[in-house]
Amino acid sequence: MPVESVTVRIADTRLAGDLAVPDAPMGLVLFAHGSGSSRHSARNQAVAARLNDAGIGTLLLDLLTPAEDRADAVTREFRFDINLLAHRLSGAADWLAARVTDLPLGLFGASTGAAAALVTAAERPDLVRAVVSRGGRPDLAGDALAGVRSPVLLLVGGRDEAVIKLNEEAAQRLSAPYELRVIAGATHLFPEPGALEEVADAAGDWFRRMLPEG
């Protein structure tokens, strides 16, 4: 599928992204990376490809500039700045909605990007139809959890015990419908055979069901 390189301008910041839109898409999903990742993440690219095959468009976006990414690799000062990540993700959601006005929007967040996705969902309740978190830190969304209205799918590896607990605690603060699904035998990054495919299938099923219903 053709992938278009795009630049999303948010205030004075320019963010690089890869936009893929299949023929007759049923919706679009904006990816929020975290914890030192980027649009080049092989894991998120694999999930995006599966969504594309299911007729869902995707935008893989770098939430940090190249200079910020280099600094973060040393200091880790940006990857846990949820306010910054969410501000840029919300701006990207606005940009995407203005560009493709007739398609419902979902968010897919990984690691700290999941917290940013939930903050954006709370800030844009009329725009975001559904959220999926992969190995995420929804707890870092804080008080925004109570403001989320979109249905949320939380995917966690069965051997990622600390993150399971954080997801369970965060889920109790959600007022939106949610499902917490544990991928048996998987660790935090889902490297085990078949684990990432299970994540992609679960995400695809969630978006196919929830995007049209929003």
Provide the residue ranges of all domains of the chain, joining segments of one domain with +. 4-213
* Cβ pair 108, 30 in contact under 8 A: yes
User: Residue 182: pLDDT above 70?
Assistant: yes
Q: Out of 1-5, 81-85, 95-99, 170-174, give the one with best mean pLDDT.
A: 170-174
What percentage of residues in the chain have a pLDDT greater than 90? Answer: 79
Q: How far apart are CA 4 and CA 20, in angstroms?
A: 6
**In this structure, which amino acid lies at residue 191?**
P
Q: Domain 4-213: what homologous superfamily?
A: Alpha/Beta hydrolase fold, catalytic domain (3.40.50.1820)
Confidence of residue 37 (pLDDT cuts 50, 70, 90): low
Instruction: Write down the pLDDT at residue 78.
Output: 85
User: How many Cβ atoms are within 10 Å of 124's Cβ, its own excluded?
Assistant: 18
Q: How far apart are CA 135 and CA 123, in angstroms?
A: 22
Angle at Cα 171 formed by Cα 165 and Cα 177, nearest 5°?
150
Instruction: Write down the pLDDT at residue 4.
Output: 93
Q: Of 102, 108, 26, 124, which Cα lies nearest the Cα of 59?
A: 108
Average pLDDT, the chain: 93
Instruction: Write down the pLDDT at residue 162.
Output: 96
Please give the sequence-ordered ranges of beta strands (E in DSSP) within 135-177, or none if there are none.
152-157
Instruction: Write down the pLDDT at residue 108.
Output: 97
Predicted model pTM: 0.94
Burial environment of residue 11 by CB neighbours within 10 A (0 to 12, 13 to 18, 19 or more): exposed
Q: Of 12, 118, 111, which Cα lies nearest the Cα of 65?
A: 12
The more confidently predicted of residues 66 and 109 is 109
Instruction: Write down the pLDDT at residue 41.
Output: 78
